[in-house]
């Protein structure tokens, strides 16, 4: 039997996540095209697909050859989703950032609950995080195909790191390594943020 406190936590969490999902999918539905940025990333995914998923040395964009020097995880996922499910690459760029943005708001809940030592407080924190304008606008753009994975792995790394510092279970060492690798392979700025925040947790 769930306590009243647990039921209230679930109710608040579900309401916040649904509201956050609505805020993320509404622009995708109304615009009908990948929002704002993402042109270079689109070219990089197309180049990766044309090269049979072997990392190329350069990508051609706006008449210039640019070194293909960017963490490729999001490019691989985007290209594979397009190829495996026979979905237009433009449509993947349109929907994947919003879906990934919802995913990392869900991942935020166990992190907040663990740090605050309360599922109720964790639910409130998740609602506030979900509805922060910057946690919406920055990720649902076309360029969000890399940002959402960087942020998702950042949050998962922080959760596993916190558990590593506060519990005796060795599995969190491997989870921290796994999720931390995901951050590095997804987004350079998120990798720097992860290092700094893990140091904060250690302190």
Segment 167-185, tens digit of pLDDT: 989 999 999 999 999 999 9
Contacts of 87 (CB under 8 A, 6+ apart): 81
Q: What is the pLDDT of residue 198?
A: 96
Q: What is the pLDDT of residue 2?
A: 62
* Token pair recorded at residue 118: 């309360």
Segment 46-92, tens digit of pLDDT: 999 999 999 999 999 988 899 999 999 999 999 999 999 999 999 99
Q: What one-character DSSP code corresponds to residue 70? A: S
176 with 164: CB under 8 angstroms?
Answer: yes
Tokens 């109710």 belong to which residue? 11
**How far is residue 203's CA from residue 190's CA, in Å, rounded to a whole number?**
20
pTM over 0.75: yes
139 with 23: CB under 8 angstroms?
Answer: no
Mean pLDDT, rounded, for 145-152: 96
35 has a pLDDT exceeding 80 = no
């Amino acid at each position: 039997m769930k306590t009243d406190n647990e039921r209230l936590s679930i109710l608040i969490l579900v309401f916040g996540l649904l509201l956050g999902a609505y805020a993320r999918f509404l622009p995708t539905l109304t615009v009908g095209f990948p929002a704002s940025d993402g042109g270079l990333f689109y070219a990089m995914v197309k180049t990766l697909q044309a090269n049979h998923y072997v990392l190329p040395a350069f990508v051609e964009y706006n008449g210039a050859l640019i070194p293909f020097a960017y963490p490729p995880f999001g490019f691989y996922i985007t290209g594979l989703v397009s190829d495996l499910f026979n979905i237009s690459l433009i449509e993947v760029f349109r929907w994947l950032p919003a879906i990934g943005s919802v995913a990392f708001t869900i991942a935020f809940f166990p992190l907040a609950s663990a740090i605050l030592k309360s599922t109720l407080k964790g639910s409130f924190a998740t609602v506030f995080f979900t509805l922060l304008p910057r946690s919406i606008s920055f990720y649902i753009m076309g360029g969000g195909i890399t940002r959402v994975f960087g942020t998702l792995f950042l949050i998962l790394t922080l959760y596993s790191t916190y558990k590593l510092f506060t519990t005796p279970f060795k599995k969190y060492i491997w989870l921290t390594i796994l999720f931390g690798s995901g951050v590095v392979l997804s987004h350079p700025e998120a990798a720097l943020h992860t290092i700094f925040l893990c140091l904060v947790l250690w302190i």
